[in-house]
Homo-oligomer: A and B are copies of this chain.
Amino acid sequence: MDNSVRIDSFQNSLAGFMQQASYSKIFVIADARTRTHCYNRIREFLPRHTLITVPTGESHKTLATCEIIWNAMTRAELDRHALVINVGGGVIGDMGGFCASVYKRGIDFIQVPTTLLSQVDASVGGKLGVDFQGFKNHLGVFQLPAAVLIDPAFLETLPESELRSGFAEIVKHCLIADADKWNEIKSRDLSEQNWPDLIQHSVEVKKNVVAQDPTEKGLRKILNFGHTLGHAVETHFLSKPPRQRLLHGEAIAVGMIMESFVAFQKNMIDRKTLDEVEEFIFSIFGKVSIQTSDLDAIVSLTRQDKKNRGNEIRFSLITGAGSCAYDVVVTPAEMKKAVHYYMGH
């Protein structure tokens, strides 16, 4: 078994993985979009397999879709020595990995992330799961894939909005762990970024953090910078009309500005750092329109964040560009000020 992340053409990295593997059956999961744009590019390199295609999008990241997948696994008579290959973005990776980890108490799976977001974030670290009752990733497990095969060529299949969404996690990895890289990316526009280099960098930052704390008892929480308010914004906008909804990275970009302001309020970063974060993120992501009527709902949604303990809401906050603290208690009043700050800029 090889837990390593391979950044290479799919053909090469799959061949490398399969050389040392022995599986009874292969089962591929894709969604309607990745079936057309990604699976069809790589199917010639895959051994004999069964394919299941599920509907595209976060709204289908549910137990109901898992039941469809588990039914298909059962019909295909997968035994404990079968391999699941997840071809898609974070939704397919999280859900397909969860389905594999629970089927017969766990079979092997490999992640083939096809979006920038999943290449730099979801595919590394072993967090799997589905949404439940409107709460993101409310049900899931920690389980490492047998391998992660990242092919930067898949980025050609993405619209610019998807590239931008994935970039938010790259920005986060720089802000929490690497001041030099932050200075490098913030001097460039989206179209000028070096994707293979940034993917490699993000994977290394994340692997390094996860290796020190696989199940998020402590340090791993720094990966949640921007995510407490970001998830709340993302969840809140799910109730809006489709054209107002946010991609994950777009919501995290909002969250990083709001949470940088919380850090500034608490004297953890200076005004200059706050301004730099804000300016760069606005230049790439623009500004999301948040109304006063949204405010209470957003603050209230942070209560379901998994980092909390009892009634305390706990944040991960940068302490400068390139470093991050965790388990910082933030009050609803401080959160409201941060949302107001975002709205006013």
Contacts and interface: CB of A to CB of B under 8 A. Distances in A.
Interface band, chain A: 35 or more
A180 interface: no
Contacts of A74: 132-133, 135, 138, 304
Contacts of A307: 80
A13 to B, nearest CB: 26
A322 interface: no
A139 B303 contact: no
Contacts of A80: 306-309
Interface in A131-171: 132-133, 135, 137-142
A106 B141 contact: yes
A303 B106 contact: no
Contacts of A96: none
A252 B38 CA distance: 48
A118 to B, nearest CB: 18
A129 interface: yes
A308 B105 contact: no
A102 interface: yes
A142 B103 CA distance: 11
Contacts of A215: 105-106
A125 B67 CA distance: 26
A139 B103 contact: yes
A275 interface: no
A71 interface: yes
A105 B81 contact: no
Interface string A54-71: 000000000100010011
Contact of A103 (B67, B79, B138, B303): B138
A133 to B, nearest CB: 6
A71 B105 CA distance: 23
Contacts of A142: 105-106
Given A24-B309, A79-B310, A309-B81, A105 B141 contact: yes
Contact of A140 (B81, B102, B135): B102
Interface of A: 24-25, 63, 67, 70-71, 74, 77, 79-81, 101-106, 127-129, 132-133, 135, 137-142, 215, 303-304, 306-310
15 contacts: A25-B310, A63-B67, A70-B132, A70-B138, A71-B133, A74-B138, A77-B304, A79-B306, A79-B308, A79-B310, A80-B306, A102-B141, A105-B128, A105-B142, A105-B306
